[in-house]
Amino acid sequence: MRSVVERLRPDLLELCQEELRLDPFEHVADGTHMAQPAIYCASLAGWSLLGDTSVDMMAGHSLGEFAALVAAGAMSERDGLRLVALRGKLMHRATGGGMMAVGASVDHATELAERFGLTLANDNSPEQVVLSGDAEAVDAACNRAKVEGVRAARLRVSGAFHSPAMGTAAPELQAALDKIDLDETRVPVYSGVTAAPFDDARARLVEGLTSPVRWRETVLAMHDRGATRFLEVGPGRVLTGLVRKTLDGVEAEVVSEEPARA
């Protein structure tokens, strides 16, 4: 990720040094408190590749909502970085618990979650749902799913993200959001909390700490509003795959410096 940011948006690395007093890319493996600022910068660097390309609407998955709001003009890059760094620190502090990916429908995964006292964390696609909660319960649910012939895997994360366990992070993030200026977005930006355009960005970003990411529903809502081509600008290509699994007959691709391979 760092090489892309250094090449496309070296000013973001300078901004990190000013605000964080370090380069988060050198500490990504230390935890989500370092990974989140790094991913934020990489997302904005990817966004710069679009140049003058016009977009009709935007969305971000979890952390990606901050970069999407910045790209849409709702807040400054500096404010976005400060919020993301704080969010990462608060979530890192609320350690404990775990998460698991389930290769099943949201209804099936919800039933599994209820059996083991887990929380629905991400509704990613018709074929992928993420559950969050107590670490032992996650392990038990993962084992049970496999016995039942359902694909399941424990995720390598340090906490039960998008669950009530993150509630301790809410007051401080809310206080930080209350101190920044938020403008109207240039285009609609969809919230993963509501699967609809942001109405109250401060409230929705705070709710996003403990609420599930309704990505599948967000993609469907954007499609209903006329979206037929989806461009992913963040690091990786996970969201592109999720869009393709959710919708038939649409274009979904990763914005890259390299030409796409056939």
Indicate which residue of 33, 43, 62, 158 is catalytic: 62
- Name the token pair of 146: 């496999």
Residue pair 36/168 in contact (Cβ under 8 Å)? The answer is no
Instruction: With CA atoms as reference, report the closest residue to 127 among 150, 146, 103.
Output: 103
Chain centroid offset of residue 43 CA = 11
DSSP 159: B
Indicate if 162 belongs to the active site: yes
Cα angle 240, 245, 246 (rounded to 5 degrees) comes to: 95
Q: CB 11: neighbour CB atoms within 10 A?
A: 12
Judge whether 98 and 130 are in contact, CB under 8 Å: no
The CA-based diameter of the chain, rounded to the nearest angstrom, is 51
First to last CA, the chain: 24
What are the structure tokens assigned to 247, written together? 């919708």
Percent composition of the chain: helix, strand, coil (DSSP 3-state, to 5): 50, 15, 35
CA–CA separation, 112 and 126 (whole Å): 16
Catalytic pick among 33, 125, 162, 211:
162
Residues noted as catalytic: 62, 162
